[in-house]
Amino acid sequence: MSQHSHAKQRNWFARHKLLTAAGALVVVVGIGAGMSGGGDGDDGKTSAAGSTEKKEKKGTGQEDGGGKEKAAKGALKGNGTYQVGSDVEPGTYRSLGNKLGCYWERAKDSSGDPDAILANDNVIGASYVTVKAEDKIFKTQGCKSWERVAEGQASGSPKTEMPGNGMYKVGADIAPGTYKSAGNKKDGCYWERAKDALHESADSILANENVTGNAIVTIAPGDAYFKTNGCSDWKKTG
């Protein structure tokens, strides 16, 4: 399966269920607009690998006024379309405190065609994305400002409890270890261990799962990021 066939499905509501043991990829799609965290996600629907489903229309940002705040010096405002290399430099960017309605997109051209999308996501809470030098366009709507962050070795004071919506840098935002999220509704909780912030489906995902009830995951020191949507809070147990 090509990388580009995955890119068309890369969406916060298009949850990737990567069955590493079977070597198969199953996409679970939940289109619930009312999803705001704490395990309140809609039930998923399964589509076979290789599906040509397109992304859903992105949020407008009206839900939280995202992108209206004045961006810090050197940061990107949360609403806009930027040309890579002139408007935005390649690198890894972080946006914090987003509510439902934040959408970003990496694209290979400015046609606006779904086929041009390299990666995209609808975001609640914190998000990271790496813009590559080969990308042509970075688009963001309804988000808080994007600040460029240092790449490489993580540093900071990582926490051992995290909200169930967000993307966290391992070793900086969240400490490695075993975490538990309890009481999640049917297929409403999704978690993902990732090796980078490119969001390139199976190429970026180390492991992931859609969860009902209790969720338990071990985040390895070598993981780059931990992503979670619609889950109850995560607490370190070991």
- The per-residue pLDDT for range 201-238, each reduced to its tens digit, is 888 999 999 999 999 999 999 999 999 999 999 999 99
Same domain for 156 and 47: yes
Q: For residue 74, is it within any domain?
A: no
Buried b (16+ CB within 10 A) or exposed e, 6-32: bbbbbbbbbbbbbeeeeeebbbbbbee
Q: For residue 68, is it within any domain?
A: no
pLDDT at position 34 is 33
* Residue found by looking up tokens 């009312």 in the block: 34
Same domain for 203 and 93: no
Same domain for 144 and 96: yes
pLDDT at position 152 is 59
Instruction: Evaluate if residue 39 carries a pLDDT over 70.
Output: no
Burial of 48 (0-12, 13-18, 19+ CB in 10 A): exposed
Phi, psi of 202 (to 5 degrees): -60, -20
Which residue from 210, 215, 175 is spatially nearest to 41, judged by alpha carbons?
210
Q: For residue 70, is it within any domain?
A: no
Q: What residue numbers bound the domain in which 202 lies?
A: 3-53+151-236
Q: For residue 61, is it within any domain?
A: no
Question: How many other CB atoms are found less than 10 A from the CB of residue 193?
Answer: 21
Same domain for 169 and 132: no
- Which of 102, 121, 149 delimits the end of a domain? 149
Same domain for 213 and 162: yes
Q: What is the pLDDT of residues 145-189, one digit of tens each?
A: 999 998 755 566 899 999 999 999 999 999 999 999 999 988 789
- Euclidean distance between CA atoms 155 and 220, whole angstroms: 16
Same domain for 228 and 167: yes
167 CA to centre of own chain: 6
% the chain with pLDDT above 70:
66
pLDDT at position 202 is 81
Same domain for 223 and 111: no
Written as six digits, the tokens of 171 are: 């070793």
Same domain for 175 and 205: yes
Q: For residue 17, is it within any domain?
A: yes
- Which of 114, 134, 149 delimits the end of a domain? 149
DSSP symbols for 121-153: EEEEEEEEEEEPTT--EEEEES-PPBEEE--SS
Written as six digits, the tokens of 201 are: 């489906």
Half-sphere exposure of 204 (CA within 13 A, CB side): 23
How far are the Cα atoms of 5, 45, 115, 133 from residue 82, in angstroms, in the given order? 24, 34, 18, 13
Residues 190-210 have a mean pLDDT of 94
- In the chain, the amino acid numbered 105 is E
Domains identified in the chain, total number: 2
pTM beyond 0.95: the answer is: no
Same domain for 158 and 145: no
- In the chain, the amino acid numbered 41 is G
Which residue from 121, 226, 136 is spatially nearest to 181, judged by alpha carbons?
226
pLDDT at position 181 is 97
Same domain for 212 and 159: yes
Instruction: Evaluate if residue 42 carries a pLDDT over 70.
Output: no
- pLDDT bin (cut points 50, 70, 90) of residue 69 is low
pLDDT at position 58 is 41
Residues 6+ apart with CB under 8 A from 60: 101, 141, 142
Say if CB 105 and CB 32 are below 8 A apart: no
Phi, psi of 20 (to 5 degrees): -65, -35
Which residue from 215, 210, 166, 233 is spatially nearest to 15, judged by alpha carbons?
210
Residues 100-116 have a mean pLDDT of 96
pLDDT at position 208 is 96
Instruction: Evaluate if residue 66 carries a pLDDT over 60.
Output: no
pLDDT at position 27 is 31
Q: For residue 69, is it within any domain?
A: no
Same domain for 158 and 144: no
Q: For residue 111, is it within any domain?
A: yes
pLDDT at position 216 is 97
- Which of 97, 131, 149 delimits the end of a domain? 149
- pLDDT bin (cut points 50, 70, 90) of residue 75 is confident
Q: For residue 170, is it within any domain?
A: yes
Which residue from 152, 160, 161, 97 is spatially nearest to 130, judged by alpha carbons?
152
Same domain for 175 and 143: no
